[in-house]
Amino acid sequence: MNASNEPSRSALSRDRSTTYHHPLEGGLDAVIEWFKGSALRPFLAKLDQHERPAFLERYRQALESAYAELPDGTVLLPFPRFFVVATR
């Protein structure tokens, strides 16, 4: 830290980010299953067992334009990663 309480330039390296494209077998159903275990959890938790299927069907329709199925039936799921490296 310097007098202004900001890290010195020598303490920081350039931030790195990358996006992995994770192949999921099973098309859109695989993408939905992936997100049911993470990002969709709070939404699904607020729905009862009768509301979930309609919600997931609407979600599936929204995904159709975002995730193209490859000829072998897999979908490439973009998986962004951000890396920060700090040194002393």
Instruction: Write out pLDDT tens, residues 11-46.
Output: 555 567 889 999 999 999 999 999 999 999 999 999
- pTM: predicted TM-score of the whole model, two decimal places: 0.69
The closest alpha carbon to 24, from 81, 69, 62, 71, belongs to: 69
Q: Please report, for the chain, the start and end positions of each structural domain, with discontinuous segments joined by +.
A: 27-83
The closest alpha carbon to 77, from 22, 15, 37, 35, belongs to: 22
By the 8 A CB rule, do 84 and 11 touch? no
The closest alpha carbon to 88, from 5, 21, 8, belongs to: 8
Instruction: Write out pLDDT tens, residues 68-86.
Output: 999 999 999 998 888 877 7
Beta strand ranges found along the chain (DSSP E): 16-25, 74-83
